[in-house]
Amino acid sequence: MKGSEQPRKRFIDYPRRGRGGLRRWLPSWRQQLGATAVGAAGLAGLFAFGYAQVGIPDENDDARQEATVYYWADGSQMVSEGAVNRQNVTLAQVPDSVEHAVIAAENSSFYSDSGVSFPGIARAAVNMVKGQDAQGGSTITQQYVKNTYLSQDRTLKRKVKEFFIALKLDNRKTKQEILQGYLNTSYFGRHSFGIQAAADAYYGIPAERLDPSRGAALAALLKGAEQYDPALSEANRRRTVARWKWILDREVETGLMSREERARYTKYPEPRRPTTPTSQKGQTGYLVDAAKKYLRSRTGLTDRDLARGGYRIHTTFEKDKVALLEKAVADERRRSIDPKKRAADTHVEFGAASVRPRDGAIVALYGGADATEHFANNADTAGVPAGSAFKPFVLAAALRGGATPARADIAVPFPHPPGPHPSESSPAETADPALPDLYEGLVSSAHQPFVAAGRRLGLKAVRDLALDAGLRKESLARPEPTFPLGTSTPSAIRLAGAYSLFGNDGRRTEPYSVTKVVRDGEPLPGLTPPKPRRVLAPEAAHGIDGALGAFARKTLPREITAKLPYGITAGGTGPRDRMRSCWFIGNDGAPGGGLTTAVTVFRTEPGTPQLLPMKGVGGDHRFGNGIPPRIWGAYATGAQK
């Protein structure tokens, strides 16, 4: 009978017949086992296919490495950084203690593993799904493969190729050969590839003379020299000292060093100061330093990437303006600074940066007397207090917080620079009565109105305005009552960029130094100049600009203002400042927005963390405040010509 026919068997009984509810949808143990077997077979097949398809390519040919070239704003060549700095050594020339430090730091299972890290590949896949770089923990073998056979691209495809090549390489080369290759190809910072170049760059000795302590210090750099070279910043130094200690302790944990020997290394072995190639003497090294910092922040390029060569980097720096700024400083140094005559004239440093307000391009900077002799870039250092040069941001916070945009057209009780000004109207009836005191205090460098404004507005409001104007968070001082008086330490680049908003209708333009980077004929993404961003209402910015014009006329001598007919605005430190620095930030008022240039003078002795007093510098028995305006005036008048 039709009703007695047995149901036809299905190849896969799913959903399961004869089961009800949830059990109908739960696979049987046979189905689960079968699915697992099929999945494992598929993965094995995929692995076998990948292993067969990915071969070991030729080693990267150093002879094909190109220099990285930097260009001026007009397209002419500024400087090139030459071939890869590497001197290969055999493993016999590297002390065992250095090998132990590297293995403890990077891959403690190096001698027993298969050359690959399965968790590393898994992390790379997860990162890719999240839209992040395909990076994960790698073995020494994988890192050697990346250094020697592949590009530095941070993609999952490169990670997979690295995985299979590392597997094959682990079967074809001894662990000693792989470790030797890794030590000769790894990047340690300071343009040094390989342990031999690194030993020379950091300690001035060959690799064979490295002791266990110095070996651990160099091993710490393998995590990323930009974050661990102690000469680059105090934060770097804290990180590298902590990692140096950890590596030595890790050697003990892994049986690579005895506790007795570890106890001998209690003081971090300080490396020598970095050196700059002689091709980057004068201001060139500082320009390259500023361009590299900008690239790291915008593109993800590292010093390691740039040191490998092949990049064409087009900057915003204008050769004639850099020369003008350098000459202005050199002339003032000869005129005013005489260490043989005055003790106060010892250890005097200058820094300056010139920014185009309409788009934020850095057209010139002065980082020090010579980049090959003075490593720190004074144009981009955060450690010099701004003093009264910070006060315009307090006034801006008062206008933004105490007056709405509709009533920010508060009259300035001083004449405006020549030319029409939209803010020239009568004071609003609802204006904050404390505002005239702030305007007056800005021009006369009085302190009390700004301390009072900080209490009234709240220091957070002032801090937020400074951040919105473009000052770096890490350069801002602690929120104490003296905060409005300029205890923060912005760089000349940042201060020039932040001042630009006052003459730019209240719009902030982020300073930038690179317009384009090309490699292998292809431009890199991420370098479109930042767009201006509204920080203040136009009327508020015009009002502050007017007060800055009054400050300029009070501060600058007639012989300078007569040569700059378009109207000058400026801020800076005054005779009432007690900071250990002098500043002048001025805009020359030229058509198109002019140039905003920040100049600073301070005293610092190598090895001394605190700045030295400024009293008596240049023969000025107050605080040497006349030096920065004179430098600015010489530069600004030359630039307008």
**Residue 134 pLDDT class (50, 70, 90 cuts):** very low
Q: What integer pLDDT is reported at residue 423 of this predicted model? A: 35
pLDDT for 510 beyond 90: yes
**Contact present, 342 and 370 (Cβ < 8 Å):** no
Q: What integer pLDDT is reported at residue 307 of this predicted model? A: 82
**What count of residues does the chain have?**
641
pLDDT for 81 beyond 50: yes
Residue with structure tokens 């509810």? 21
Q: How many CA atoms lie within 13 A of 445 on its CB side?
A: 23
Q: What integer pLDDT is reported at residue 269 of this predicted model? A: 97
For residues 32 and 413, give the distance between their C-alpha atoms in angstroms, rounded to a whole number: 85
Mean pLDDT of the chain: 84
Other beta carbons within 10 angstroms of residue 615's beta carbon come to 13
Mean pLDDT of 100-109: 94
Query: Which of 462, 509, 513, 466 is closest to 490 using CA atoms?
Result: 466
Other beta carbons within 10 angstroms of residue 415's beta carbon come to 11
Contacts with 468 (C-beta within 8 Å, 6 or more apart), sequence order: 508, 535
- Torsion 364-365-368-371 (CA) sign: negative
**Contact present, 566 and 590 (Cβ < 8 Å):** yes
Q: Which of helix, strand or coil describes residue 617?
A: helix
Which tokens sit at 221? 């750099």
For residues 321 and 578, give the distance between their C-alpha atoms in angstroms, rounded to a whole number: 32
What are 433-443's pLDDT values in tens digits?
567 789 989 99
Q: What integer pLDDT is reported at residue 358 of this predicted model? A: 93
Angle between helices 212-220 and 96-106 (to 10 degrees): 30
Rg for the chain, CA atoms, rounded: 31
Q: How many CA atoms lie within 13 A of 26 on its CB side?
A: 7
Q: What integer pLDDT is reported at residue 409 of this predicted model? A: 35
pLDDT for 59 beyond 60: no
Mean pLDDT of 31-58: 55
Strand order across the 362-366 sheet: 362-366, 348-355, 596-603, 582-587, 569-572
For residues 387 and 582, give the distance between their C-alpha atoms in angstroms, rounded to a whole number: 8
- The pTM score is 0.75
Which tokens sit at 327? 């000459």
Single-letter amino acid code for the residue at 608: T
Torsion of CA 190, 195, 196, 200, to 10 degrees: 40
Domains and CATH numbers, the chain: 89-262 (1.10.3810.10), 353-640 (3.40.710.10)
What are 310-340's pLDDT values in tens digits?
899 999 999 999 999 999 999 999 999 999 9
Q: What integer pLDDT is reported at residue 348 of this predicted model? A: 96
HEC per residue, 269-325: CCCCCCCCCHHHCCCHHHHHHHHHHHHHHHHCCCHHHHHCCCEEEEECCCHHHHHHH
Q: What integer pLDDT is reported at residue 382 of this predicted model? A: 82
Contacts with 182 (C-beta within 8 Å, 6 or more apart), sequence order: 102, 140, 141, 143, 144, 147
For residues 19 and 311, give the distance between their C-alpha atoms in angstroms, rounded to a whole number: 67
pLDDT over 90 percentage in the chain:
56
Q: Determine the Cα angle at 91 with ends 90 and 92, to 5°.
A: 90
For residues 351 and 329, give the distance between their C-alpha atoms in angstroms, rounded to a whole number: 9
CA 436 to chain centroid? 39
pLDDT for 619 beyond 80: yes
